[in-house]
Chain A
Amino acid sequence: MGEFVVTLLTGLSSAAALFLVASGLSIIFGVTRIVNFAHGSFYMLGAYIGVSAVHAVGGGAIGFWIAILIAAAAVGLIGVAMEVLLLRRIYRAPELFQLIATFGVILVIQDITLWIWGSEDLVGPRAPGFTGAVTILGQRLPEYDLVLIAVSPLVLAGLWLLFNRTRWGTLVRAATLDRQMVSALGVNQRWLFTGVLFLGSALAGLGGAIQLPKGGADLLMDFNIIAAAFVVVVVGGMGSIGGAFLAAMLIGLLQTFGIQIFPNSTLILMFLVMAVVLIFRPWGLLGQPEIPGHGVVEAPEAPLRPADRGLRIVGAAVLAVLLLLPVAHLIVPSLVGDFSLVLVIEIMIFVLFAAALHFIMGPGGMVSFGHAAFFGGGAYAAALLVKFAEAPMEIAFWAAPAGAALLAILFGWFCVRLTGVYFAMLTLAFAQIAWSIVFQWGEVTGGDDGILGTWPSDWASSRIAYYYMTVGFVVAGLLALRRILFAPFGYTLRAGRDSPLRAAAIGIDLKRHQWVAFTISGAFAGLAGALFVYSKGSVFPTAMEIARSFDALLMVLLGGVHSLTGPIVGATALTWLNDLFSELSYWRFLLGATIIGLVLLLPNGLVGLGETGFGRRLGAAPDREVPA
C-alpha cells in the first residue's frame, strides 16, 4: 500500500515538467498555428539558465525560487526574440516553412548551449528546505517531489484565471478560434503573438528549471522531452491545457508504475495508452477536431506535371555523371577521391529517403515528423537478420523494405485517422517509441552500441560496386515512386489531398489510400535504410532519432514540397552542407544559421529562388488571402 502511494506520488511529480512543456507548446500552437519544434530547446535552456541563475543569485531559501523564475522569464524572452526576429517575418510564408525556421533554432541553441555551458552534464542545485525525504506509510519520498506535485495544479489554475478572467486571455482564446476575425475587430495580433510566445516559452523554461533538483541539465534534454510533450499534446488534445494536464499526469503515472511492472518497456505502455485514446477519441481527451480554415490559407497547388523534355535532359545528364563518376575516380583519383564516392552514396541514400517522405507529404498531403522510424526500421530489419540469422545481403535487402512496410502498416493504421498537425505529431511520437525500443532493448538491438558487421556480399563489397548498386536502387526507387504518382492511385491520392470531402462524396476511401501510400513510403524509406546500413557496416539508434526525421523533413521542405524534383535537390543540398560543415566545430550552429538565413532571405523557399530557372515549374507564388 505504502509503495503504491509513493509510486503514485512519484508519478505525479514526474509529470510536472512534462505538463509545463506540453501546455506551453499547446498555447503557442493554438494562436500562432506554429508547431514550435524548438520548444524542447527552451526546456533545456530553462535548466541551464536555472543552474547559472542559482549560482548568480545564491541558492538560499528565497534565492533558489527567484533563480527559477529568472530562468523562466529569460527563456520567455528568448521565445519573444525568436518571434520578433524570426517568426514575425515569415507568418505569411507557408506554415511548413515556419517549422523549418524553428528547426534551425534547435540547432543554433544546441551549439550555443554547448559553447556556454560545455559538454558535461550539470548537476542540478538542491532546493533549500526540500532536501530531505518524508515518510509516507513507511515509504520514503523526496520532499521536493511534493513541491513538484503542487506545481502542476497551481500552474493550471493560474493559466485558467489568465485565460478566463483577463481581456488578454479572452483575446488569446478568440485568436485561437479565428485570428483573422480578431484582427478585423481591431486587435493587433502582433502583441498577442509576442505575449503568447513569452508565456509558452516561459512555461517550457520553468519546466526545465523546476526539475533541476531531480534531473540536472544535459544536452539531450531538448529531444528527450519533445517527443513526450508531443504525446501529451496529442493525448490531451491540441490546444487544451486541461487536456495537457490530464495527459501529463496519465503519462507520468504510466511511466513510474510501468517501470515497476515492465522495467524495459515503459515507452510501449505510453504507446498503448496513446493508441487506445486515439481509437476512441481521435482528437485527444479534451481536444476538438482540427478546423481547417479561417485565417490559414495555403497556396493552391500547381498540378504535378510529368517530366518535360528539359527535365528529362537534366535527369539524363545527372545520371550520366553519376555513372561516370567511378570511371573518373579510377582515372584521376587525385581529383575524384574515395570520399567523393562515399559522399555521393550518402547523398543518393538520402535522396531516396527524402523522396519517400515527399511521396506522402507532397502528393499525399500528410506531413510526417517521424519518418526516420522507417529509415531506421529498414536498417534494423536488415541488421537484425544479419545478426541473428546470418542472412546474406541479398535477403536482408528484401527484408528491410518489408520490415519498414510492416511498421508503416502498424503506425499508419493509427496515423491516417488524424489529419494535419495531429497526424504529424503522432508520427513523431511513434518514431520516438520505435527509437526507444531500439535504444532500450539492448539484448536484441545492442542498444546504444548498435549492431556491427553488416557488410555487403563479396560481389558488392568494393566501393565502386556498392556505388553502382546504390545508384541502381535509388534511381529505380525514384522511378517507381514517380510511376505510382502518375498511376490512378496517385491521382486519387492528390484528389483526396485537395478536396477530402469531394473525394469521399464520389466514393473514394481516402483513409485506405492514405494508409497504402504511407506503407509504400515506409517501404522505400526502409530500402534507403538498408542501403545505409550496408554502406556503413553498422547501425546505431541514431538511424531512427528525431534529428534524422527532421533532416528528411528539411530536405523535402527546402527542396520544395510541390515538385518531384524538390526532395532530390533538397537532399543533395542538405547532405552536402552537412558534410561540408561536419568537419567544423559548432557545425550545428552553422547549419542552423544557414537554415534560418535561407528562411529569412527566401520566404518562399528554394521555390522562390528557382523562380528564375529550376523552380519555375513549381508555379509562381499566387496572391493569397492575408493570413492576418
Chain B
Amino acid sequence: MTASAPRPVLEARDLHTYYGGAHILVDLSFVLNDGEVVVLLGRNGAGKTTTMKSVMGLVRMRAGTVHLEGADITGREPHVIARAGMGYVPEDRRIFGDLTVMENLEVGRQPERPDAPVWTPERLFGMFPNLAEMRTRQAGRMSGGEQQMLTVARTLMGNPRVLLLDEPSEGLAPVIVDQMAATIQALKAEGLSILLSEQNLHFATAVSDRAYIVEKGRIRYEGTMDALADDAEVRNTYLTV
C-alpha cells in the first residue's frame, strides 16, 4: 500500500515441517513486506499454526529458510529469533496464569530497538484500557477476551518489528473482535509488519492487505484482499464461508 517498492521484512522459503512421520508443511513459501498486514487463511488443521511455529523456531523444520530483515534466522532458537525482532502471539494465548498482569508484561519486556516502536506498560494500558484496571489481577482469573489482550500486550513488550498473530479473533465476542481489529490497525499505523492467521474471512478482510490461502500445508492462493473478494471460486474451494 505504500508508494515505494515493497521491502520484504520476513521471507519464508520452501518450508518443510514434519510431526513424526506426518509431512505437515510442504514447500511452503510466503513474503511479508514492510508495513504490511498479511493473512494466512485456511481451515482447521491447514497448517497455519505450524507455519508460525516453524518461523518462530518453536518447531524444527526439516528444510527451508527463514529471513528476518535480510538476516538468516533458519533453525535459530526461539529466544534468538524473538530478540531479532519477531513477536509471537500464540493462538491458545498461553498467558502465565499464576502471574499478575504486570508480571506477565514483565516477562515479555526486552530492550528497546531503534527500528521498532517502543512499548511500556503505560502505553499498552492506553491501548488496552481494561488491562489498566487489573494490573495486579492474576492472569488466570481474567476473561478470555482480557487474556487475548494481555497476550498481545505481553508480546509487544518485546518491542518487535514483526508480529506473528495466530488467530487473534478465535473464540472472542463480537465486540472484542472489533476491538482486536482496531488494535491491529493501530499497530500497523505504528509501523509494525504483521502476519496474521485466520479462519474468519470477514475479520481478515477488515485488517489485511494481502492473503495466502493454506491447505494441507501448501500455499494454494496468493493475492490482495480485493482480488480474493472477487474470486468466489477460490473462497468456496478453500475456505469455510
Contact = CB atoms under 8 A, between A and B. Distances in A.
Given A184-B90, A628-B78, A170 B20 contact: no
A174 B110 contact: no
A178 B62 contact: no
Nearest to A191: B79
Interface string B68-84: 00000000011100110
A170 B78 contact: no
B94 A178 contact: yes
Nearest to A176: B98
Contact of A183 (B60, B79, B99): B79
Contacts of B110: 185-186
B56 A185 contact: no
B20 A626 contact: no
Interface in B43-86: 53, 56-60, 62, 77-79, 82-83
Given A167-B106, A294-B94, A622 B21 contact: yes
Contact of A171 (B83, B97, B107): B107
Contacts of B158: 185-186
A174 B94 contact: no
B197 interface: no
A300 interface: yes
A238 to B, nearest CB: 14
Contacts of A177: 96-99
A173 interface: yes
Interface string A151-189: 000000000000000010011011001101111111111
B204 to A, nearest CB: 23
B144 interface: no
Contacts of B90: 181, 184
A170 B58 contact: no
A623 interface: yes
Interface string B101-133: 001101111100000000000000000000000
A185 B154 contact: yes
Contacts of B53: 625
A151 to B, nearest CB: 27
Contacts of A178: 94, 96
Interface in B124-153: none
A173 B102 CA distance: 13
Contacts, number: 88
- Which of A170, A182, A184 has the most B CB atoms < 10 Å from its CB? A184
A617 to B, nearest CB: 16
A625 B62 CA distance: 12
Interface residues of A, number: 26
Contacts of B83: 186
B155 interface: yes
A361 B81 CA distance: 38
Contact of A623 (B20, B58, B94, B104): B20
A132 B90 CA distance: 61
Contacts of A174: 96, 99, 103-104, 107
A170 B108 contact: no
Contacts of A624: 60
A625 B58 contact: yes
- Residue from A171, A178, A185 with most neighbouring chain B CB atoms (10 Å): A185
B62 to A, nearest CB: 7
A184 B59 CA distance: 11
B161 to A, nearest CB: 13
A625 B59 contact: yes
A484 B59 CA distance: 38
B137 to A, nearest CB: 15
A170 B82 contact: no
B18 interface: yes
A183 B154 CA distance: 13
B163 to A, nearest CB: 12
Nearest to A189: B79
Contacts of B157: 185
Interface in B1-26: 17-21
Contact of B78 (A173, A183, A294, A299): A183
B212 interface: no
Contacts of B58: 180, 184, 625-626, 628
Nearest to B85: A186
B99 A170 contact: yes
A185 B107 contact: yes
A161 to B, nearest CB: 14
Contacts of B79: 183-189, 628
Given A300-B20, A628-B77, A184 B56 contact: yes
Contacts of A188: 79
B79 to A, nearest CB: 5
A183 B106 CA distance: 13
Nearest to B20: A622
A626 B56 CA distance: 11
A299 B104 CA distance: 30
A623 B104 CA distance: 31
Nearest to B92: A294
A183 B77 contact: yes
Interface in A602-628: 622-626, 628
Contacts of A623: 17-20, 60, 62
Contacts of A171: 107
Contacts of A625: 19, 53, 58-60
Interface in A423-473: none
Nearest to A300: B20
With most chain B CB atoms within 10 A of its CB, the pick from A170, A178, A299 is A170
Nearest to A628: B78
20 contacts: A171-B107, A174-B99, A178-B94, A184-B79, A184-B88, A185-B110, A185-B157, A185-B158, A186-B82, A186-B83, A294-B94, A299-B20, A622-B21, A623-B17, A623-B18, A623-B60, A623-B62, A625-B19, A626-B57, A628-B79
Given A186-B82, A625-B60, 19 more contacts: A167-B106, A173-B96, A173-B99, A178-B96, A180-B58, A181-B94, A184-B78, A185-B88, A185-B108, A185-B158, A186-B79, A186-B110, A187-B79, A299-B20, A300-B20, A622-B19, A622-B21, A626-B59, A626-B78
Instruction: Rank and list the top 8 A-B pairs by shortest CB-CB distance, nearest first.
Output: A186-B82, A622-B20, A183-B78, A174-B107, A181-B94, A174-B96, A183-B79, A184-B78
Interface of A: 167, 170-171, 173-174, 177-178, 180-189, 294, 299-300, 622-626, 628
